[in-house]
Structure formats: C-alpha cells, structure tokens
Structure 1
Amino acid sequence: MKISLEEIDKSNYEAVCDLDVTKEQEEYVACNMWSLVEAHYNSGHTCKAIYENGQPIGFLMWVLETESKISIWRFMVDQNHQKKGIGREALKMALEEIAAYPAIKEIEICYNPKNPVAKDFYASFGFKEVGMDEGGEDMIALIKL
C-alpha cells in the first residue's frame, strides 16, 4: 500500500468529489465538493487528495487560522477504503507537512464529542482536548509544536 497526499487539480477533482463516507458518517463529514468550492473562494485553505497506489481515495483540507495556527477542517477516507490504516498514514503525512511550516506552533482539529472513535484516533496523534467550539457543537483538540 503506497499512500501519498497530492494536489487537487482539473485532472482529479471529479474523482475526489465522487468519494463518499458511510451513511453513518455522513452527519460528521462535509461534502468534498463543498470543501473545494469553499477553498477556492477563501484564502489560506489547502486541499489534498489522499491517494492509494495512484488512485484518489480520500480528502484533507486545512486552513491557516492565524500566523501560528493551522486547523484541519476536513478529513475523510472513502467508505470502500476504510479500516486499512490509510487514514492513520494520511493524517501522519499531513501533520508532518503542516509542522514543516516554520511559523506554525499549533495544529487544531475538531470533532463531534459523541464520536468516541474520532476522539481516540486524534488522541493517538497527540491531540489534546481544549474545550468546545463557540457554537458548543464540536470538541476542539490541539497539538502544540
């Protein structure tokens, strides 16, 4: 299994938009098409396709929130490619890429607090919960670099 993070462009955006999570996960994950539109019209957004053996099978988007903080806003692996360790490898690669920005001191992620799988998964990378977001819907977790 060869995992990579690739730029999204006219050659692969349709394949990225066609990726889906399971029905049970839909309420937790934004549509990839919406995320690409959002990134196009806002500055500081970075989108990456998660590839396995040359095929797009997932999506990541992070946003420069401040000069020293990046937030991971989107992260998904297609339902047909889950439970193979791809998400773990892709997030590891994304965190390494983000940490390479010299000014970045914090990486933030948020998730539904009713999703124990997400909590344990992100904690395994060193994310520490810091409290709920302003709307009181999502848990915010940070890695300090």
Structure 2
Amino acid sequence: MITWNKINADNWYACTLLEAAEEQKTLFPAPAVFWLAEAAYCGMNALALYAGKEIVGFAVYAIDPDDGNYWIMAFMIDHRYQSKGHGRSGMLALVKHIREQHGCKVILLGHRPNNERAASLYASLGFTEVDRTEYEVIRQLSMP
C-alpha cells in the first residue's frame, strides 16, 4: 500500500536519512535534508512516501506564482527501495494527490538530461517534454 503523508515532527528525521543510489547522486545531488529545509522556509509542500509503514521516498512540490502551475520540485525513492515499483506507484499517487488537493490541470517537473530512468518513467506516465536546456528537461502533464 503506497501512501503520501505530510512531513512533520514525527517523520522528518527518517526522511533526512533517505538517499539516492551512489551512481544517481550526480543526477540528484541535493540531499533530502536540503529539500526539507527549502520546503519549510520557501512555502513548498513536502511529503513522505510510505510503503505500508516504511518511508521509502519523498517529494516536494509547489505552485509557481508566475504561471499558476504546480511543479514537482523533487521526487526521490531511497536506494534501498528502488526497482520495486515504488517510483511508478508513488508518482501516480502524487499526481492524484496534487490534482485532488489543488484542482490543478497542469503539473510540471524537471530532470537532468542524462537521467534516463526518470525520463522513461515520466514519459510512460504521460509527462511530455516541453523544454530542454543543457542542464534540465522540463516535462508537463496536462489533465482534463
């Protein structure tokens, strides 16, 4: 059972211990604690991904005040829980959460151009590439 819960006083420390796989740290260089601090002080939403009672990942999302769209700023599955379907089921649940909580029609996210696993996952979930720089690929999911 995959669920998202707000990061709070009871689970924040466990989230700081989540890490990308060693070979992914160039693709996801900021540690979880950075994202939690940014979320706390910059008005973003931070969520812990649970598989049953175990925290397996986290996400940070926010609304862009310039265009009114929701952005997934960070999405990470801990290296110990990868290749178990948590990325796909977690992202599907996150999209559903954002849509239901905020009624948005568009969700955007970015990833490094050489992050082929992320590119494949996001494309398979309907996120289409809308922009690309040498440092980032921007993808958009439009919902009816």
The TM-score, its normalising length taken from structure 2, stands at 0.91
Structure 2 unpaired stretches of 5+ = none
Q: Output the amino acid matched with 2:75.
A: F
- Please give the secondary structure, in 2, of the residue aligned with 1:20: coil
Partner of 1:33: 33
Counterpart of 2:94? 94
Matches within 5 A, 1:14-93: 14-29=13-28, 30-43=30-43, 45-66=44-65, 68-93=68-93
SS class of match (1:28): coil
CA apart distance, 1:65 = 0.8
User: TM-score, structure 1 length as denominator?
Assistant: 0.91
After superposition, the CA RMSD in angstroms is 1.3
Asked if 2 retains the 8 angstrom alpha-carbon contact of 1:68 and 1:105, the reply is no
Structure 1 residue 105, shift from structure 2 partner = 2.4
2:143 aligned with 1:140: no
State the SS of the aligned residue for 1:21: coil
C-alpha distance in 1, partners of 2:114/2:79?
A: 20
Deviation of 1:106 (Å): 1.3
Q: Secondary structure at the match of 2:26?
A: helix
Query: Where does residue 129 of structure 1 map in the other structure?
Result: 129
- Aligned partner of residue 63 in structure 1, secondary structure: strand
Partners of 2:87 and 2:117 lie apart in 1 by 13
- Deviations 1:115-139, CA, capped at 9 Å, x for gaps: 2221111001100001125xx4100
Match of 1:13 in 2: 12
Q: Distance in 1 between matches of 2:121 and 2:110?
A: 12
TM-superposition CA deviations, 1:19-69 (whole Å, max 9, x none): 1111111112221100111111112x1110011111111111111113631
Structure 1 runs, 4 residues or longer, greater than 2 Å off: none
User: What secondary structure, in the 3-state scheme, does the structure 2 residue paired with 1:41 have?
Assistant: helix
Q: Tell me, which stretches of 5 or more residues in structure 1 are unaligned?
A: none
For residues 129 and 51 of structure 1, the distance between their equivalents in structure 2, rounded to whole angstroms, comes to 28
